[in-house]
Structure 1
């Protein structure tokens, strides 16, 4: 896969000596162990690793959805660990987009209403030109008046993607975004995410277990035992799968 020319002059998000520990004593589990990693502006990063490797915990901490035990997390130049709950909520609303495995659409709203919902809640009017660009890129112009039950799974996830991008966030986090989709619908969503990076300058961090999905990214980070153990640029499904074979069933490097 050919990697596009990217503007890597900025850092959209950064984790510095990040740790996350659950429990104490005999039940203590180290989910993240001194992780330091940058996510460059305008880059599509996939995070992979065996079950229990810490990949979802890393994304949740960097996205401000979970508290870190130690270290710091920066979105742009703002340290999340220094924010109170109200300021953190505002930062997530204004600078971060989220795409989840379950589409999280409101069934009573149309596709367009679901897309603009976060901005409506914040009392902000969408940038019409940007919104039109997102809608056309996601390919749902003729489905804007439809409610989620009138849309296919792939179309619903594309609505969720458009919702994440509509407010022009600094970074979008996607947690297994194709997990509930068939291969064709998944390819449509992944293709849209890649276009949003290459054509719209978006920054995306995606957790996935699927080597095919990871191959849409510009780079792949591999986690094991709560640490970043490898990184791959210009991944292919085959090269990612070969790397994943080096982990045993317990998530350790073999």
Structure 2
């Protein structure tokens, strides 16, 4: 496959169309002869109000890219930007505040606190920040996600799909600048997976939310506006408005080359 040239090369920090950007981003693990470069000189921007899916073969660097962009992992060189904020210039406390106040997260394992009710899990980030939750928005989100009658239940009393909807509500309720999802449908059956993807799609179309997910599932990626493909730590292709068949064909070609 020919080397991919990102259409976002040459963007600047002043370009307000991007909710997040990677600029010459490199990520290396280890040193010397044992060093492994997980990401090679990544340049890409994630547009505001858009749903992006990141795909690639196992070991391609897709989760590493998302973790670097979300401030969950440090970069070796280059920049990971949220808006105009360069994450590499922030200390641990500043990163914690940024993740809490400006980002939303949805993980494969739900990451709910088992001793808290659904309502308490949803409002937890705001409670930690001593920030009042907008009651009207909370009611709209929990109603939209079908959680109004489950708010007093603890995670053990909820199905997997309901737990992931609680995680979605937690990510959405603060209206973050960007929501990152790491295999958010990986532990769900097909019906629950569809529900979660429709929630994310609606948040983009109706609320102008920015969503970036890592997924191995072409069906999940087909909900996105844009699918970015990684292989061997480099961006090698992207599709816009691609069907599940187009996405699957691109993934199959990458796995054959891998």
Same fold by TM-score, threshold 0.5 exceeded? yes
Instruction: Give the C-alpha shift of residue 222 in structure 1.
Output: 0.3
TM-score in terms of structure 2 length: 0.92
Q: After TM superposition, what 4+ stretches of structure 1 lie above 4 angstroms from structure 2?
A: none
Matches for 1:56-135 after TM superposition, within 5 Å = 56-135=63-142
Cα distance in structure 2, aligned partners of 1:128 and 1:243:
44
Asked if residue 25 in structure 1 is aligned to residue 32 in structure 2, the reply is: yes
Asked if residue 47 in structure 1 is aligned to residue 54 in structure 2, the reply is: yes
Partner of 2:166: 159
Instruction: Give the C-alpha shift of residue 16 in structure 1.
Output: 0.3
Partner of 2:10: none
Asked if residue 223 in structure 1 is aligned to residue 233 in structure 2, the reply is: no
Selected match of 1:175 from 182, 200, 207: 182
Partner of 2:250: 243
Residues 192-235 of structure 1 deviation map (CA, whole Å, 9 limit, x = unaligned): 11111111111110000000000011110000111111110012
Partner of 1:193: 200
Cα distance in structure 1, aligned partners of 2:137 and 2:185:
25
Cα distance in structure 2, aligned partners of 1:39 and 1:55:
14
Say how many residue pairs are matched: 244
Flag structure 1 segments of 5+ consecutive residues without an equivalent.
1-7
Instruction: Output the aligned Cα RMSD.
Output: 1.3
Partner of 2:42: 35
Cα distance in structure 2, aligned partners of 1:94 and 1:227:
30
Residues 28-84 of structure 1 deviation map (CA, whole Å, 9 limit, x = unaligned): 211000001101111000000000100000000000000000101111111111111
